[in-house]
Amino acid sequence: MAKPKKPYNPAHAQERADREAEVSRLRRQGATVKRDRDGSILSAYRSNVFNLLLSRNTITQAHHDAACALAEDWAAWKGLDGGADKMAEFIDGGSGCPELITDRMVQAGRRVRATLDPIGEPSRAIIAAFMVATVEEDRPMAWRGVMERLGITGRDRQTQAVVASCEALREAREQPRREAA
């Protein structure tokens, strides 16, 4: 015997339409969306090169942790982390319109600079390009495309350059800990 259909409910139809709109918005922003059998969103995340390389055992967990810590600082430095300071100043940044600069942003910028300063130029450029793609871009391109944009071609050469950059980043992040010990 066939299961009887539920009566039409406009509220459920609106919820379903809102849910579909949210899924399409997330996908347009480059997120991977997981849904349950009812179509509800279980999770949504934007992949980044460091998660991908860790899952393929190309980089170590220490490399991944250093990159994620830098990404958090980078987002705070650019004001993209969603944190709000109660005491904020509008500062004229030279563009003619006031910009919101917080102490948290300045401190994060100092941490980013302290991390990137000891890294050599090729590795610094690679890490900075990946931070821009991971944190700032709405639809980050594939990591090999980022490498090609930097002028590094060849699959093996790209992989070696990323691993070397991640190792330099890990060493730069761990250096203050070694000096404190």
Domain boundaries, the chain: 10-45, 49-180
Arithmetic mean of pLDDT, 168-177? 84
Q: Which amino acid is at 85?
A: D
pLDDT at 67: 94
> Dihedral through CA 145, CA 148, CA 154, CA 159, nearest 10?
-60
Cβ-Cβ contacts under 8 Å for 140 (sequence gap 6 or more): 30, 46, 48, 133, 134
Handedness of CA 173, 80, 127, 158 (dihedral sign): positive
| Higher-scoring residue by pLDDT: 90, 80 | 80
pLDDT at 147: 93
Least confident of 16-30, 69-83, 89-103, 150-164: 89-103
Question: Over 70: is that where the pLDDT of 99 sits?
Answer: no
pLDDT at 115: 92
Least confident of 6-10, 101-105, 136-140: 136-140
pLDDT at 149: 92
The whole-model pTM stands at 0.68
Supply angle C-alpha 139, 144, 149, rounded to 5: 80
Q: What is the 3-state secondary structure (H, E, C) of the chain?
A: CCCCCCCCCHHHHHHHHHHHHHHHHHHHCCCEEEECCCCCEEEEECCCHHHHHHHCCCCCHHHHHHHHHHHHHHHHHHCCCCCCCCCCEEEECCCCCEEEECHHHHHHHHHHHHHHCCCCHHHHHHHHHHHHHHHHCCCCCCHHHHHHHCCCCCHHHHHHHHHHHHHHHHHHHHHHHHHHC
pLDDT at 92: 53
What tens digit of pLDDT does each residue of 137-158 get?
877 778 889 999 999 999 999 9
Mean pLDDT of the chain, nearest integer: 83
Question: Over 70: is that where the pLDDT of 163 sits?
Answer: yes
pLDDT at 93: 56
pLDDT at 102: 79
pLDDT at 135: 86
